[in-house]
Amino acid sequence: MILSKSFGYALRGILYVSLMQEEKRKVSLDEIAGQLKVPRYFLAKIMKEVVKAGVLSATRGQQGGFFINSNTLNTSLTTIIRLTDGEEYFNICMLSLQKCNPSNPCPLHSKFEPGRQELFEVCHNTTIGMVIKNNKPEFIKSISFH
Amino acid sequence: MILSKSFGYALRGILYVSLMQEEKRKVSLDEIAGQLKVPRYFLAKIMKEVVKAGVLSATRGQQGGFFINSNTLNTSLTTIIRLTDGEEYFNICMLSLQKCNPSNPCPLHSKFEPGRQELFEVCHNTTIGMVIKNNKPEFIKSISFH
DNA sequence: CCCATTAAAGACATGGGCGTCTTTAATCAT
DNA sequence: ATGATTAAAGACGCCCATGTCTTTAATGGG
Ligand code: FES
Ligand code: FES
């Protein structure tokens, strides 16, 4: 598995909340988990981290829920991956040796470097806002695809 | 983690055995695990699968051990990944939805596709023989880098 | 003020990747 | 033949990602 399940849940959750911005309403955990067909309690943990990192905001109580803030749409995939897959995700060697170190490369370093770099670039350059703009139409379907 | 630790162990094990072909000698599990600084018993399980798949050969008993066969140098990385990371590795969606399906893509499909494809191509087109030829000199060091 | 609602926090369970050890079976040197 | 050596096979334990449930705290409606 290239990226963790948690990453998928986090991204889809953030996207769902962002899509609801137009109606300017807050979205409850129950709604997100229900719509995305994602384990409710597990999603709760992840969303807590997302809020703690400032990528989304949330309030408790009646009419409470998750909502976007000034960071949300500018958040890069890299930021989300850091939350879900750990700070070291972008540094570890493909052979699981300590760190990917170009000056003392493993036997596969040169082979994997281009694709790997491409993937990392995309993560760094893609924001939530861009993803939403690109897919608008039927993409709620794909988000909630269980 | 993009690829499993098992993959790293398997590849390095296969490379080590292949490098010893020149002396036309068999290599014991103890020697491989010792040289590569890899958990011996765990490596045993992986090597068993490698042999079962025909990528290497092995005999038991005195003077026994692992040795290369006609498949070894032509084995692609894809073959090894299938053994260690599962048949589905190349099909699963980056968001952990069932399968990566270009005709019903997830919101990130188009973003990740190029890098992902590049990575998969490399795996498909790179063989053990090529890896050995490319890195000959000091690369045992990097293999055994603990 | 009180209560329903909602996220936050924390305790607990499960499964698979990873790691260790023991037993079995094959092979060869003697 | 016998015994040492070596891989194969199987049992077991650990840790962490994943998943579930309960308790706490905040918020707003009545
Ligand atoms: S050192 Fe192994 S991928 Fe860079
Ligand atoms: S459908 Fe998600 S990566 Fe292809």
Specify the long-range contacts of residues B96-102, CB closer than 8 Å, at least 24 apart: B96/A1, B96/A3, B96/A4, B96/A5, B96/A7, B96/A8, B97/A8, B97/A142, B97/A145, B97/A146, B98/A145
Write out the CATH class of domain B5-141: mainly alpha
- B15–A95 C-beta distance less than 8 A: no
Rg of chain B in Å (alpha carbons): 17
pTM of structure: 0.94
Sequential pLDDT tens for chain A (146 residues): 999 999 999 999 999 999 998 777 899 999 999 999 999 999 999 999 999 999 999 999 999 999 999 999 999 999 999 999 999 999 999 998 878 988 888 999 999 999 999 999 999 999 999 999 887 666 666 677 64
Q: How many CB pairs under 8 A join A and B?
A: 117
CB A145 within 8 A of CB A135: no
CB A27 within 8 A of CB A66: yes
Phi, psi of B82 (to 5 degrees): -55, -40
- For A94-112, give the DSSP string: TT--SS--TTS--TTHHHH
> What digits encode the pLDDT tens for the residues B4-51?
999 999 999 999 999 998 777 899 999 999 999 999 999 999 999 999
- B96–A3 C-beta distance less than 8 A: yes
Residue B94: CB within 6 Å of ligand 2? Answer: yes
Distance A53 CA to C5 C1' (A): 25
Domain boundaries, chain A: 5-141
The answer to whether A37 contacts chain B (CB < 8 Å) is no
